């Protein structure tokens, strides 16, 4: 899966920054955990922040820091979830709690260190929301989960974070409030489609939110230079095995 061309150098900087900040004396993060990441796991959160930043080309260094912060939150939550998996080694289960907590610590260290402190409370709240989704999922683990309940869970666990990424990136980019709201809605739709595709439980949710995301882009295209966001959307659709032809989404949900 190709990276988003317009932000390739920035994505590489985020990758290098995270590798440096999560390098332990004897091992890297990936060596400590049996945690396989696909292209979306590695790049989607940084790509959200960086493509929105490309709209105005402002605050490059702040965008790179913000991109790594969102990746830390996503990774911390994903690694903590390894505790519940039955097919992981005991060592991985043990390390997952410690490493997840370490990554949350990195999140707040960078918020303070990178002049993003004014957004700290928003990260506190979104982590609270993510945990609400985790608790709701746990309470329903032995029950048949309705589409409504599942939508609420992934809206908290994943889409709340993509929504915040869109909102803060738009603020850092200096976009006006109406544009911030549309970008926030676009990113929320991406989060919903991504989570539903990943678990392959209610595939109708993937279709619904991809259509919503496309609509929000269409509403922005006459007002903002959104080519970076269009490239991001294409990258995302490739990542979840969807094809885009012209104005049509051809949904090949597997």
pLDDT tens for each residue of the chain, 254 residues long: 456 777 888 888 898 888 888 776 566 666 666 667 788 998 999 999 999 999 988 788 899 999 999 998 998 888 767 666 656 566 556 666 777 777 878 888 888 876 788 999 999 999 999 999 999 998 998 888 899 999 999 999 999 999 999 999 999 999 999 999 999 999 999 999 999 999 988 889 999 999 999 999 999 988 999 899 999 999 999 898 765 554 455 444 43
Residue 34's Cα: distance from chain center in Å?
Answer: 20
Residue 214's Cα: distance from chain center in Å?
Answer: 18
Amino acid 50: pLDDT: 95
First-to-last C-alpha distance (Å) of the chain:
17
Amino acid 191: pLDDT: 97
3-class state of residue 219 by DSSP? helix
Amino acid 53: pLDDT: 93
- Is there a contact between 215 and 233 (Cβ–Cβ < 8 Å)? no
20, 92, 143, 239 from 38: Cα distances, Å? 20, 19, 29, 9
0.75 surpassed by pTM: yes
Backbone angles phi, psi at 116, to 5 degrees: -115, 20
Backbone angles phi, psi at 243, to 5 degrees: -110, 140
3-class state of residue 248 by DSSP? strand
Amino acid 207: pLDDT: 92
Structural domain spans, the chain: 10-250
Amino acid 19: pLDDT: 82
Amino acid 83: pLDDT: 63
Classify domain 10-250 by CATH architecture. Answer: Orthogonal Bundle (1.10)
**Residue-wise over 79-111: b if at least 16 C-beta within 10 A, else e?**
bbebeeeeebeeebbebbeebbebbbebbbebb
**Residue-wise over 8-31: b if at least 16 C-beta within 10 A, else e?**
eebbebbbebbeeebeeeeeebee
- Per-residue pLDDT of 89-132, as tens digits, reads 665 566 667 777 778 788 888 888 767 889 999 999 999 999 99
């Amino acid at each position: 899966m190709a990276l988003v061309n317009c932000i390739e150098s920035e994505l590489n900087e985020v990758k290098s920054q995270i590798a440096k900040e999560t390098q332990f004396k004897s091992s890297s993060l990936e060596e400590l955990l049996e945690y396989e990441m696909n292209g979306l796991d590695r790049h989607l959160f940084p790509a959200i922040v960086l493509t929105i930043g490309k709209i105005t080309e402002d605050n490059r260094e702040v965008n790179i820091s913000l991109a790594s912060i969102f990746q830390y939150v996503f990774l911390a939550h994903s690694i903590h979830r390894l505790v519940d998996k039955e097919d992981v080694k005991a060592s991985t289960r043990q390390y997952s709690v410690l490493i997840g907590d370490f990554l949350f610590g990195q999140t707040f260290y960078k918020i303070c260190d990178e002049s993003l402190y004014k957004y700290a409370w928003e990260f506190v709240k979104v982590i609270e929301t993510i945990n609400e989704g985790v608790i709701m999922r746990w309470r329903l683990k032995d029950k048949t989960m309705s589409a409504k309940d599942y939508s609420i869970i992934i809206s908290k666990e994943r889409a709340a974070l993509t929504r915040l990424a869109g909102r803060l990136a738009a603020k850092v980019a200096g976009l006006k409030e109406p544009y911030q709201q549309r970008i926030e809605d676009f990113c929320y739709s991406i989060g919903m489609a991504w989570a539903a595709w990943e678990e392959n439980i209610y595939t109708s949710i993937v279709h619904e939110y991809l259509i919503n995301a496309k609509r929000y882009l269409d509403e922005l295209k006459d007002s903002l230079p959104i080519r970076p966001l269009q490239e991001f959307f294409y990258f995302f659709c490739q990542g979840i095995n969807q094809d885009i032809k012209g104005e049509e989404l051809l949904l090949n949900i597997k």
